[in-house]
């Protein structure tokens, strides 16, 4: 395993409380014919925001660690991306969190860009590309409410469990539309949140068609997955 060179932001903010260091979890995910190594947070009890950077963005201590967990939806999306047609497409992962799909697409040689709102997501992405000895992945921090779409257009936009907040459905659909080429696929894996239908209505308003599929292969998950794959095309 390669020697990790941790980003400065992680080195300088190692505490979740007085004398309590952040704890990590190391996993290897077998996705198609690829093995992706991942360092994530050990659990949702981890916290490190000494300069109140996350707090200033509206991320509370209770929610701070959620970006750093590999949720089932992200594993389903990564499994789907292991054989998804990506040749010739710019791909954007929205709300990437631990960016498992971005790391996989990067390994496959795809043109992938990742984005998230959390101030530490980019640092973890950088550390995990080093862990996998792969090329750096372009990343930008995005606020769906304020984005000015300066990062170009994409032919494939993906995300997992990003429909959790009703107030963000309209900004998210607008963000996707602003980054989508005239012909674009959008793939969202959702664990079964009630906002699915409302989000689909907003995507239809942006000219996308919608398809909903059950998740057939859950062999890599520890428990049943009751969510679905939402695919939008135009």
Q: How many domains does the chain have?
A: 1
Quote the domain boundaries for residue 218: 70-233
**Residue 160: which of 100, 87, 82 has the closest Cα?**
100
Check residue 34 and give its pLDDT: 96
* 203 found inside a domain: yes
Give the integer Cα–Cα distance in Å for 156 and 184: 6
* 9 found inside a domain: no
Q: pTM for the full model?
A: 0.90
* 8 found inside a domain: no
Q: Is 95 exposed, middle or buried (0-12, 13-18, 19+ CB in 10 A)?
A: buried
* 54 found inside a domain: no
Cβ pair 94, 154 in contact under 8 A: no
CATH number of residue 215's parent domain = 3.40.50.150
Give the integer Cα–Cα distance in Å for 98 and 74: 8
Give the integer Cα–Cα distance in Å for 96 and 139: 10
* 151 found inside a domain: yes
The gap between the terminal CA atoms of the chain, to the nearest Å, is 42
- CA distances from residue 77 to 14, 146, 204, 215 in whole angstroms, order as listed: 30, 26, 22, 10
Cβ pair 22, 16 in contact under 8 A: yes
Give the pLDDT of the chain (234 residues) as one tens digit per residue.
333 333 434 333 333 444 358 999 999 999 999 999 999 999 999 999 988 999 999 999 999 999 999 999 999 999 999 999 999 999 999 999 999 999 999 999 999 999 999 999 999 999 999 999 999 999 999 999 986 778 999 999 999 999 999 999 999 999 999 999 999 999 999 999 999 999 999 999 999 999 999 988 777 787 888 899 999 999
**Residue 186: which of 231, 136, 224 has the closest Cα?**
231
Cβ pair 202, 227 in contact under 8 A: no
DSSP for 9-54, written as a single string: HHHH--BSSTT-B--EEEEEEEETTEEEEEEEESSTT----TT-HH
């Amino acid at each position: 395993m390669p020697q990790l060179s941790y980003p400065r932001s992680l080195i300088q903010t190692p505490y979740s409380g007085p004398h309590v260091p952040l704890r990590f979890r190391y996993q290897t995910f077998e996705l198609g014919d690829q093995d992706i190594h991942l360092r994530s947070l050990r659990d949702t009890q981890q916290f490190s925001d000494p300069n109140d950077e996350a707090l200033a963005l509206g991320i509370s201590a209770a929610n701070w660690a959620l970006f750093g967990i590999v949720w089932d939806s992200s594993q389903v999306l990564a499994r789907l991306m292991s054989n998804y047609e990506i040749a010739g497409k710019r791909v954007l992962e929205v709300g990437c969190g631990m960016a498992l799909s971005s790391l996989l697409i990067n390994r496959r040689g795809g043109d992938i860009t990742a984005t998230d709102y959390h101030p530490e997501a980019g640092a973890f992405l950088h550390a995990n590309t080093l862990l996998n000895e792969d090329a750096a992945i372009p990343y930008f921090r995005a606020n769906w409410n304020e984005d000015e779409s300066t990062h170009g257009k994409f032919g494939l936009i993906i995300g997992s469990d990003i429909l959790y907040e009703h107030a963000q459905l309209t900004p998210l659909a607008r963000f996707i539309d602003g980054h989508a080429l005239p012909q674009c696929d959008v793939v969202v894996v959702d664990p079964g949140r009630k906002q699915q239908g409302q989000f689909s209505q907003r995507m239809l308003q942006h000219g996308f068609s919608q398809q909903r599929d059950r998740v057939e292969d859950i062999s890599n998950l520890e428990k049943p997955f009751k969510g679905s794959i939402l695919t939008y095309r135009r």
